[in-house]
């Protein structure tokens, strides 16, 4: 018996940074995001010999340990080990676990949090844990942010779990996920005009978020102004999306990027700035880095007849542009037999 999981990655349009604990507990946060057709995949096969075997298809790590002993946190798949321990997997009869992401760590698409949601989904199915979507996302957040102290916000875990277009509100004691009923013709137009581009380098977000939080706690004026504007832009972009004002949506995406750069000087760099300006000159109405910053993927909204020109300009600078489709399902798990036939 195999248990599979498929979990989508996300793009964030506006509000990133306001979902970090230090800000939302004092001022409340909100984010507009959507999941896309890039995925983290997982497979779990039960064992009966008390062993846990974990393999990462991306990092090349294989980790083995006994269910009767605590795992060693040595930098090899520590996030996965902590998730198994926290969810009670160490009390099982053992299992093989294989995980694979379609994008590299540090992509800016929420890959580490999506991986944790994938693991929670597999363990929930394996151990028959009665968890709602909110509880699944909260468990993923707790393991990553609270137990392992990995810097970051809340949006990624909830986006991966719920899927689709969502306007998320973050308060001190609760998260509210508001699914948006975006018309199919609007989605088609977005998929036609939006362009993802891999900058050619990844980044670790911890240092950027730590700097951003430090600047907020020190009440640096630019950071305060940028975060508060991010909240407002998330609302304005949600309204533009629902009212089918997509050129306005693209222009607001540009404003979201200008506000995002106020949060920390580490968010952009000369290469990102050059790619952004080249894309704008080639016909992009607006764009932004999709994650904490410093590298990973950039997202652009283009004039429909200029998208190919934007792609050409980015390619000349070493970028890897690509189209994409949206995903509406969020976390999915299912069971298959030994012949990979769904059960």
- CATH number for 75: 3.30.230.10
**What is the rounded distance in angstroms from the CA atom of residue 81 to the CA atom of residue 316?**
41
Which pLDDT belongs to residue 209?
85
Query: What pLDDT is recorded for position 339?
Result: 66
Q: Per the domain annotation, does 172 fall within a domain?
A: yes
Closest CA to 289 of 303, 302, 312, 273: 273
Give the total number of structural domains in the chain.
2
Same domain, 261 and 200: yes
Give yes or no: 156 in active site.
yes
Burial of 332 (0-12, 13-18, 19+ CB in 10 A): middle
**Same domain assignment for residues 169 and 205:** no
Residue 268 CB: number of other CB atoms within 10 A? Answer: 17
Evaluate whether residue 221 is within a structural domain.
yes
pLDDT for 291: 85
Q: Is 335 domain-assigned?
A: no
Do 163 and 214 sit in the same domain of this protein?
no
Are residues 116 and 72 located together in one domain of the fold?
yes
> Same domain for 139 and 228?
no
**What pLDDT, on a 0 to 100 scale, did the predictor assign at position 205?**
62
Angle between helices 246-260 and 184-193 (to 10 degrees): 60
Domain boundary among 139, 162, 181: 181
Separation of alpha carbons 109 and 34, rounded Å: 10
CATH code (residue 229): 3.30.70.890
Same domain, 163 and 196: no
Return phi, psi of residue 21, to 5°.
-50, -45
| pLDDT of res. 171 | 95
343 occurs within a structural domain: no
Same domain? 166 vs 192: no
Residues 189 and 244 in one domain: yes
Among residues 12, 8, 327, which one has the least CA distance to residue 167?
A: 12
In a domain, 339, yes or no: no
Same domain, 120 and 215: no
Do 201 and 67 lie in one domain? The reply is no
The verdict on 157 and 278 lying in the same domain is no
* Domain edge (last residue) among 181, 207, 233: 181
All residues at 6 or more sequence positions from 198 whose CB lies less than 8 Å from its CB, including other chains: 107, 296, 297, 319, 320, 321, 322
Query: 19, 156, 211, 327: which is the annotated catalytic residue?
Result: 156
Predicted confidence at residue 104, as pLDDT, reads: 83
- From first to last of its 343 residues, the chain has per-residue pLDDT tens of 799 999 999 999 999 999 999 999 999 999 999 999 999 999 999 999 999 999 998 888 899 999 888 888 888 898 899 999 999 888 889 999 999 999 987 888 999 999 999 999 999 999 999 999 999 999 999 999 999 888 889 999 999 999 999 999 999 999 999 999 999 999 999 999 999 999 987 766 658 888 888 888 899 999 999 999 999 999 999 999 999 999 999 999 999 999 999 999 989 999 999 999 999 999 999 999 998 888 899 999 999 999 999 999 999 999 999 989 999 999 999 999 866 666 6
Helices 155-162 and 133-141: angle between axes, nearest 10 degrees = 150
pLDDT at 206: 59
The answer to the question of residue 23 being in a domain is yes
Q: Are residues 167 and 285 in the same domain?
A: no
> Residue 158 is part of which domain span?
2-181
Residue 328 covered by a domain = no
Choose the final residue of a domain: 143, 163, 181: 181
Q: Is 12 within the bounds of a domain?
A: yes
Distance of CA 128 to the CA centre of its chain: 26
């Amino acid at each position: 018996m195999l248990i599979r999981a498929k979990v989508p990655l996300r793009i964030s349009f506006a509000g990133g940074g306001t979902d970090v604990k230090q800000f939302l507990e004092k001022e409340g946060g909100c984010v507009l995001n959507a999941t896309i057709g890039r995925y983290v995949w997982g497979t779990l096969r039960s064992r009966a010999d008390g062993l846990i075997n974990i393999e990462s298809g991306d990092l090349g790590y294989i980790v083995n340990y006994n269910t009767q002993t605590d795992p060693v946190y040595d930098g090899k798949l520590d996030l996965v080990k902590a998730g198994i321990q926290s969810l009670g997997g160490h009390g099982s009869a053992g299992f093989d676990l294989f995980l694979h992401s379609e994008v590299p760590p540090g992509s800016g698409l929420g890959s580490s949090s999506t991986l944790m949601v994938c693991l929670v989904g597999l363990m929930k199915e394996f151990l028959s844990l009665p968890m709602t979507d909110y509880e699944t996302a909260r468990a993923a957040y707790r393991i990553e942010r609270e137990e392992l102290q990995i810097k970051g916000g809340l949006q990624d875990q909830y986006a991966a779990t719920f899927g689709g277009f969502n306007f998320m509100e973050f308060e001190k004691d609760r998260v509210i996920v508001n699914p948006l009923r975006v018309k199919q013709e609007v989605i088609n137009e977005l998929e036609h005009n939006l362009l993802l581009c891999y900058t050619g380098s990844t980044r670790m977000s911890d240092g950027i978020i730590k700097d951003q939080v430090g600047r907020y706690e020190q009440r640096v004026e630019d950071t305060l102004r940028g975060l508060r504007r991010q909240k407002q832009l998330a609302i304005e972009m949600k309204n533009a999306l629902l009212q089918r004002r997509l050129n306005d949506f693209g222009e607001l995406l540009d404003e979201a990027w200008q506000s995002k750069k106020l949060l920390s000087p580490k968010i952009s760099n000369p290469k990102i700035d050059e790619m952004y300006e080249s894309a704008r000159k080639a016909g992009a109405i607006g764009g932004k880095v999709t994650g904490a910053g410093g590298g990973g993927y950039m997202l652009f909204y283009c004039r429909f007849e200029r998208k190919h020109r934007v792609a050409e300009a980015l390619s000349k600078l070493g970028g890897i542009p690509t189209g994409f489709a949206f995903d509406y399902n969020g976390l999915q798990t299912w069971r298959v037999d030994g012949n990979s036939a769904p059960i």
